Structure 1
Amino acid sequence: AYVHRHEIGFPVLKDVGNVVADKFGAERTPEVFLVDERRIVRYHGRIDDQYGVGYSRERGARPELSLAIDQLLAGEQVATPQTEPVGCHIGRVKPVEPTGEVTFTKHIAPILNEHCVSCHRPGEIAPFTLGSYEEVLGWEDTILEVIADNRMPPWSADPAHGSFSNDPRLSDRDRELIITWVDNGMPKGDPNDLPPPPEFAVGWQMMQPDQVIKMRDRAFSVPAEGIVDYQRFVVDPGWTTDKYIVAAEARPDCRSIVHHILVYVIPPDAEREDIRQIVAGYAPGALPLQLPEGVAIEVAAKSKLLFEMHYTPNGSPQEDLSYLGVRFTERKNVRKLLRGQIAIDQEFQIPPGAANHRVAATYKAKADEYLISMTPHMHVRGKSFKYVAHFPDKRSEVLLNVPRYDFNWQLKYVLERPIHLPPGTEVRCEAIFDNSESNPTNPDPTITVGWGDQSFDEMMIGFMETVPVENDF
């Protein structure tokens, strides 16, 4: 199916039982072995350096395999005969007899259900599923690697600052259980110990929506390769009365090409989109908007919605018709209105080669309010991001520190307990950008970089969500 979907023009054979992989000693997929007419390996490693651990290049990748082939066909020595392959471990049956008290059904399944299955299930963003014992087998080496590197579950906040209700990280005990289970040969355990699988609404992470709104009336065509400009589609949802949204989820139709979605409200009297009120967003790792009881987003009658779409071609032509699901409540059930706030700088200029360029912006609270969540946003040169509150009584507090910002995981950080922002409180957001050659995702370290929509441009936005201390209604 993969070969046909991507219209691969060269022969592809299935390595049943890993026979060929074992003979070559291959450990990862993809991993290349280029052999000459005497069956001597002349190049071993990756196809190119477009993808690495935690990054992908949109341009400027070095075609290492292609260069090796050209040199070999020209009768030359391959200049770089060895590179480091990057990818998932090739799953193999372990020659270990399962033993021990730590079992999948009693210990491992509950951990996966709590921390992994929301993404690692059919139709979601993860590349494989982890809903059963059989599905986990073969992924154990990859699982051990990503939890050791703290790559999974994805989370970038410094634990020294703030407590967040959506923190998915594994406890030390959970890590040790997984390691012990793999070391002991992954015993399955008693089927009676298996917990029931988590329940998810069909196709949705939130509860079934009251209304589904498509981004437009027809699919958008994405080419096989190249850079696709940000697409913006304005949609009339048909709201003839004021709406009070309590849950919203943006969902990609073709997940393999949708990098992110942002859906904004355009009020009926607005001349342009208002970036301060986001209804929902989708990015790898993002959760749907689900507000506490009594809190809602107020949307005026006759408002429109703006879908901002960022597409990344995946090697074959695709079509996408993404959509938004929303749940409503009546005004009588609403006590407080959720408000979108931002700290933003659109005038910065990052010099060529700068490895630690600092950009700052401030949001000042005009009313007595509670801070609910924070979402830092930069592009591929983003290095770190910090929110610091400066209170009227001269106190300061680091609200959120993201020391290693990752463009691939644009996360919302929802506070476990809302933070009181008295009038006059300033929330200062500080971003560090890396425009140097040492940044593997940097498209071009030789240019000055400013604000722009594409990921090879940059942005500096500190999104925040607040609710008033006093009830609105």
Structure 2
Amino acid sequence: MRRRCLGFVFVLAWSGSVWGASVDNFMLLDHRGEAHELHYHTDAAAVVLVVQGNGCPVVRNALPDLKAVRERYADEGVVFLMINSNLQDTRESVRAEAEEWGIDLPILVDETQLVGEGLGLTRTAEALLIDPEGWELTYRGPINDRLSYERQLAEAKEHYLADAIDALLAGTEPHVARQDAVGCLINFPERDNPAHGQISYVETIAPILEQNCVGCHRPEGIGPWAMTSYEMVRGFAPMVREVLRTKRMPPWHADPHVGEWRDDAGISNEERTTLVHWIEAGAPRGEGEDPLPRIAVAPDSEWVLGEPDLVIELPPYEVPASGVVDYQFPTVANPLDRDVWVRAMDVLPGSTEVVHHVLVGLIDGDSNRGGVFDDYLGGYAPGVRPVELPERTGMLLPKDDDFLAQMHYTPYGKAVTDVTRIGFYLHDEQPDTFFRQGVVMNPTIAIPPNAKRHEQRAYQEFPADALLYDVLPHSHYRGHSSTFSLVYPDGREELLLNVPNYDFNWQRGYAFVEPKPVPAGSRLVHTTVYDNSAQNLGNPDPSKLVRWGLQSWDEMLYGAFSFVWVDETTDRPIHDGRLIDAYQTIGYLDRDMDGRAEWDELPAPLKRRMAKDFEHGDADGDRALTAPELHAARQARRRAADGNDVAAAGGD
């Protein structure tokens, strides 16, 4: 570990960062929609942040100098990023600038200007050098002295940034810690605005909290503290500022630049900026009656949708105060003597503190599927609303099927008994069509030890026209980011959902404002990036090779989705579950996305299991299977097995 001797340190609260100041953590999305958190880089020797601005000639002229510095420290563990805080620049225009000028660095887009304000930025082309050991700013200024306004030198005489990096790596003070930046001025109209001290708590702040926070932060809510008064909010104000800057709260993780969603729980840039500016102004109380005591109250009813038609109570489970609890799979017999149609469902955990998530489905009453649903119904996770199906659709609940739940408990320091209840709301009459559930999955995933960004993907092909209603990405502690995209039969690809900062603590689905038409032959592609490094603070063990498994220390590539077949009705079903299973299998075996699972693409264990499928299904001898071929091979094997059973029983 290097040792540093600093002569002095400036201590700052909310003001802009100068040399020696601690740089507050933040998270921003870059021009490609990827998330970057400053304090993630604990293993870096240094972090360099260079201020970018579209159209600035100084920035463009400085790109070769920046490239030279990057190459010099390529093997030294120095992280290089760029940041754009310009009011006039958008993610799309920054992406275009990066493509035109060959910028291959992440350009963090500071849409609210909150990060730029906090860093004290004034001009583009400025470089900031940050020491991850304490997150202190050790240099700020130009990369070198080669550039000035409307003139430039052939060669730089002073290499300020490189000299500062050398000093940081050597554990000494830089010869020059601060140099005036040369670049285009950045307009920060809200920086140090005295009007922030006049922001009304009653008329402005409390309504923002009601809209974005109080639903969870209320008595008997899932938030750790209740926003019951101004005094409570003021006491937690520094924490509120932190989670807003790092985007941990509110817990809505969809990229706002991709898709439109029902029940969008994201906070707007304007609301985020207003809250942070109010807090940085001292969280003034102002005049007027505090509205929070009447807003932040416990709900009138346990059931958001009213009293259910059917309530299933799961067996009590004793959750210990600490440790790891294996997934539990309680089953409950179906009390009904008739088939019914479900139009909505809700899950009420007995103890919200320990219930991480609940999945609910059906199994044949005579089978033991080991935690695998025959049909999935819905689930619960903190912040997720009850499941309400689209009009004229329903899920069939056969009288002979029983209920199976997957329970994930996370102890929180106190032993409790959980009794979770599931409420079902039923149709009075048979609906027009089935509401279907599917999963894009890949049980063959293998995440190498210490891998920071390991990508896995799979797809589900639709053999008939469909309407896609929602998607839900699911992974475990090592999940970093996820996307869903739709690849159409003509090859066009549309990004449907981008979750750049996946959080295992919030298992949330995303429902389209309008269902997405899916032509036959389209593929729903689900991609997840995993972080198996020590910088992932939730990682149980970075040294492990991680494979598929139910427990949180295992991993999953699991993308759930809901849909209806366009030409299906409840009187005329067309759904073939076994054919869909075949498409699902091809979707995770097909590494090159050509629509076939080639023999050479199969992992060794699967070759042994699927040898018979290839033997019977590969009709054209190309050592590959399509989904229809795999389906036909499986059907033939089932018929053969059924025939053997009949023969063994002495039948005809």
Shared fold (TM-score, shorter chain, > 0.5): yes
Distance in 1 (alpha carbons) for counterparts of 2:286 and 2:340: 50
Pick the aligned partner of 1:259 from 356, 368, 375: 356
- The answer to whether the 8 A contact 2:485-2:526 is kept is yes
Query: How many Å apart are 1:134 and its aligned residue?
Result: 4.8
Q: Which of 485, 488, 498 is the matching residue for 1:401?
A: 498
Partner of residue 288, structure 1: 386
Question: Is 1:364 equivalent to 2:461 in the alignment?
Answer: yes
Task: Give a deviation string over 1:73-121, Cα, whole Å, max 9, x none.
Answer: xxxxxxxxx999xxxxxxxxxxxxx996643332223222222222112
> What CA distance in whole angstroms lies between the structure 2 residues aligned with 1:392 and 1:358?
24
1:133·1:188 contact (CA, 8 Å) conserved in 2?
Answer: no
1:398-436 superposed Cα distances (whole Å, 9 cap, x missing partner): 111222221112211111221111111111112222223
Match of residue 157, structure 1, among 237, 251, 254: 254
Q: 2:335 aligns with which of 238, 262, 280?
A: 238
- The residue aligned with 1:72 is none
Is 1:380 the equivalent of 2:473? no
Aligned to 2:241: 144
Change (3 A) 1:445 1:146: closer
Higher relative contact order (CA 8 A, sep 6+): 1
Give the deviation of 1:379 after TM superposition.
0.8
Question: What is the CA RMSD across the aligned residues, in angstroms?
Answer: 3.2
Question: Counterpart in 2 of 1:9?
Answer: none
**Is contact 2:311-2:421 (8 Å) kept?**
yes
Question: Which range moves more in the overlay, 421-430 or 110-119?
Answer: 110-119
- Aligned twin of 2:486: 389
Q: Which residue of 1 aligns with 2:303?
A: 204
Tell me what 1:435 maps to.
532
Equivalent residue for 1:172, pick from 266, 269, 279: 269
Aligned with 2:426 (options 328, 344, 352) = 328
**Does the Cα contact within 8 Å between 1:161 and 1:400 map onto a contact in 2?**
yes
- Alpha carbons of 1:173 and 1:447: their partners in 2 closer, same or farther (altered >3 Å)? closer
Whole-Å separation in 2 of the counterparts to 1:401 and 1:259: 23
Distance 1:225 1:237 in 2: 33
Identity %: 35
Please, which moves more after superposition, 448-457 or 350-359?
A: 350-359
Correspondence for 2:587: none
| One of 448, 452, 456 as aligned partner of 2:545 | 448
- Residue 160 of structure 1: how far off its partner (Å): 2.7
Q: Confirm or deny: 8 A CA contact 2:244 2:276 kept in the other structure.
A: no
Show the counterpart of 1:213. Answer: 312
**2-structure distance, mates of 1:262, 1:115:** 26
Alpha-carbon deviation of 1:363? 0.8
**Which residue in the other structure is 2:508 paired with?**
411
Q: Which moved more, 1:261-270 or 1:303-312?
A: 261-270
CA distance in 2, matches of 1:185, 1:353: 42
Q: Please state if 1:308 is matched with 2:417.
A: no
Q: What SS does structure 2 have at the residue aligned with 1:110? A: helix
Would the aligned equivalents of 2:230 and 2:285 in 1 still touch at CA under 8 Å? Answer: no
SS in 2 for 1:331: coil
The question of whether the paired residues in 1 share the 8 Å contact of 2:241 and 2:276 is answered with yes
Which secondary structure does the structure 1 equivalent of 2:502 belong to? Answer: coil
Partner Cα separation in structure 1 for residue 432 and residue 272 of structure 2: 41
Q: Please give the alpha-carbon distance, in whole angstroms, between the structure 2 residues aligned to 1:168 and 1:54.
A: 26
Q: CA deviation at 1:340?
A: 0.5
Which residue pairs with 1:278 in the alignment? 376
Aligned mates of 1:158, 1:427 — CA distance in 2: 18
Give the 3-state SS of the residue equivalent to 1:231 in structure 2: coil
Q: Which amino acid aligns with 1:464?
A: F
Shift of 1:126: 0.5
Q: Which residue of 1 aligns with 2:89?
A: none
Q: 1:200, 1:206 within 8 Å by CA — same for their partners in 2?
A: no
By how many angstroms is 1:137 displaced? Answer: 3.7
The more displaced of 261-270 and 323-332 is 261-270
Q: Determine the C-alpha separation between the residues in 1 that align with 2:39 and 2:344.
A: 30
Q: 1:212 to 1:189 in 2, by over 3 A?
A: farther
Question: 1:99/1:465 Cα in 2 relative to 1: closer, same or farther (>3 Å)?
Answer: closer
Unaligned runs of 5+ in 1: 1-26, 28-52, 56-81, 85-97
Compared CA separation, residues 101 and 210, structure 1 to 2 (3 A): farther
Which is strand-richer, 1 or 2? 1
C-alpha contact (below 8 Å) 1:249/1:325 kept by paired residues: yes
CA distance in 1, matches of 2:243, 2:487: 37
Q: Which stretch has the larger CA shift, 172-181 or 153-162?
A: 172-181
Deviations 1:21-47 (A, max 9, x none): xxxxxx9xxxxxxxxxxxxxxxxxxxx
Distance in 1 between the 2:255 and 2:290 partners? 39
Q: Distance in 1 between matches of 2:271 and 2:386?
A: 26
Q: Which residue of 2 aligns with 1:339?
A: 436
Aligned-pair CA distance for 1:169: 1.5
**Residues 340, 463 of structure 1: 8 Å contact kept:** yes
Question: In the alignment, is residue 350 of structure 1 matched against residue 455 of structure 2?
Answer: no
Given that residues 106 and 194 in structure 1 are in contact (C-alpha distance below 8 angstroms), is that contact kept between their aligned partners in structure 2? Answer: no
Mark the CA change 1:112 to 1:293 in structure 2 (over 3 Å): closer, same or farther.
Answer: farther
Once residues 205 and 130 of structure 1 are traced to their aligned partners in structure 2, the CA distance between those partners, rounded to angstroms, is 20
Say whether the 8 Å CA contact 1:247–1:288 is kept in structure 2.
Answer: yes
Residue pair 2:461, 2:524 contacting (<8 A) in 1 also = yes
Amino acid across the alignment from 1:203: E
Q: Which 10-residue stretch deviates more, 348-357 or 256-265?
A: 348-357
Report how far residue 330 of structure 1 moved.
1.8
Superposed CA offset, 1:129-181 (max 9, x none): 12444543422222222222222111222223211112212223323433454
Task: State which of 523, 543, 554 in structure 2 corresponds to 1:426.
Answer: 523
Alignment check: 8 A CA contact 1:113 1:131 kept: no
- Map of 1:107 onto structure 2: 204
Q: How many angstroms apart in 1 are the aligned matches of 2:532 and 2:268? A: 35
1:466 matches 2:537? no
Q: CA deviation at 1:230?
A: 0.8
- Once the 2 structures are TM-superposed, how far is the Cα of residue 464 of structure 1 from its aligned partner? 0.5
d(CA) in 2 for partners of 1:280 and 1:315?
29
Instruction: Give runs of aligned pairs for residues 11-30 of structure 1, distance below 5 A.
Output: none
Total equivalences in the alignment = 382
C-alpha offsets along residues 355-377 of structure 1, whole Å, 9 cap, x if unaligned?
Answer: 22222211111222111111111
Partners in 2 of 1:434 and 1:229 — Cα distance? 23
Q: Which moved more, 1:461-470 or 1:127-136?
A: 127-136
